[in-house]
Amino acid sequence: MITTQNLTKRFDQITAVENLTLEIPEGEVFGFLGPNGAGKTTTVRMLTSLISPTSGSATVNGHAIGERDIDIRRSVGLLTETPGWYDNLSAERNLEIYASLYEVEDIKGQVGKYLRFLGLWERRLDVTATFSKGMKQKLAIARALLHEPRTVFLDEPTAALDPEASRLVREFILEIKQQGRTIFICTHNLDEAERLCDRIAVFKTRLLVLDSPANLRRQVFGRKVVFHLLQADQALVEKIIQLPQVTEAKLIDHKIVATIDDPEKHNPEIIRLLVSEGADVQFVGELRRSLEDVYLQLVKNA
């Protein structure tokens, strides 16, 4: 579990993170979205006790940052933005070093387990200098999990991975979620955030919005329903827009796009109205705005 209360970090005159207040329950996959320089990495660094906040407080797995830093680092795994390896050493040796520093008891067993799981067992004796970016990233994910942490911070986990490896990593994240771990993902990959995350925070120095991907869409754009008609005209739009549950309606070709509070409840009434006005309704669907649209809208307005 992660909680923050007015967490703030300033570097001289620059405010990187301002009054961040969050509560992430145990076992949640939490997406942290924001443009470059928004303060995402600074937030992760504060929550992993790498840097201290200027003001505010936070607890990670019940340990307060600034007070129980070693306990925090012992209970979290961190995938850094750039993996960083000792390139003269083998993959296995690299992981063994970290396993030892993370106080893992069965070093060989844990290292072997994650090397196998991430498909790197056959290359375990090769020096990491010979590894591709994707392989180094996979190895970094293994490093973040070696000590079986309760909370995992993943900074751009699928950056530099090919589609197959990205999929493997996403499946892996869902699997570690099943184990009840809390997962905090910083990402620019909105599709990935939508697939993996229970809730998403859009962040630009301060928290802009925090909700589930579906609710975010609703919050930002409302829910839009498209009525496909055989023939449509402006008169039909004028009729629809007079309904109290419709906040906006537009005519686009032979389609009427209406913003409706509760489509499940109000669509039948609208369809009855259209039919009574002589319209031939071909089919009705919801216009899904991508999370990217939501994100861009929020960041633009910030």
Residues that bind other proteins (CB under 8 A): 11, 45, 48-52, 70-71, 73-74, 78, 80, 82-89, 93, 97-98, 100-103, 140, 143
Contact 30, 198 (CB under 8 A): yes
Query: Position 162: which residue type?
Result: D
Q: From the CB of 173, what's the least distance to other proteins, in Å?
A: 19
Query: Closest separation between CB of residue 165 and other proteins, Å?
Result: 20
Question: Cβ 73 to other proteins, closest distance in Å?
Answer: 4
Q: How far apart are CA 17 and CA 206, in angstroms?
A: 6
In the complex, minimum distance from the CB of residue 25 to other proteins, in angstroms, rounded to a whole number: 23
CA distance 54 to 144: 27
Tell me which residue has tokens 């967490």. Answer: 7
Judged by CB, which is closer to other proteins: 30, or 85?
85
Nearer to other proteins, 26 or 86 (CB): 86
Burial of 297 (0-12, 13-18, 19+ CB in 10 A): middle
Q: What is the CA radius of gyration of the chain?
A: 24
> What is d(CA 264, CA 168) in angstroms, rounded to the nearest whole number?
36
Quick check: 33 and 220 in contact, CB under 8 A?
A: no
Consecutive H or E run containing 16:
strand 14-24
Q: Which is nearer to other proteins, 58 or 294 (CB)?
A: 58
Closest to other proteins by CB, 4 or 49 = 49
Q: Of 52 and 234, which CB lies nearer to other proteins in the complex structure?
A: 52
By C-beta, is 140 or 246 nearer to other proteins?
Answer: 140
Of residues 31 and 77, the one with the C-beta less far from other proteins: 77
Compare residues 74 and 255 and give the one whose CB is closer to other proteins: 74
Residue 7: CB partners within 8 Å, gap ≥ 6? 17, 19, 20, 21, 22, 43, 46, 53, 55, 56, 57, 58
Q: What is the DSSP letter of 270?
A: H
CB of 80 to other proteins, least distance (A): 5
Contact criterion met (CB below 8 Å) for 138 and 158: no
| CB distance 181 to 151 below 8 Å | yes
Q: How far is the CB of 191 from other proteins (least distance, A)?
A: 27
Task: Tell the smallest beta-carbon distance from residue 159 to other proteins (Å).
Answer: 14
DSSP letter, residue 69: H
As measured in angstroms, the least distance from the Cβ of 99 to other proteins is: 9
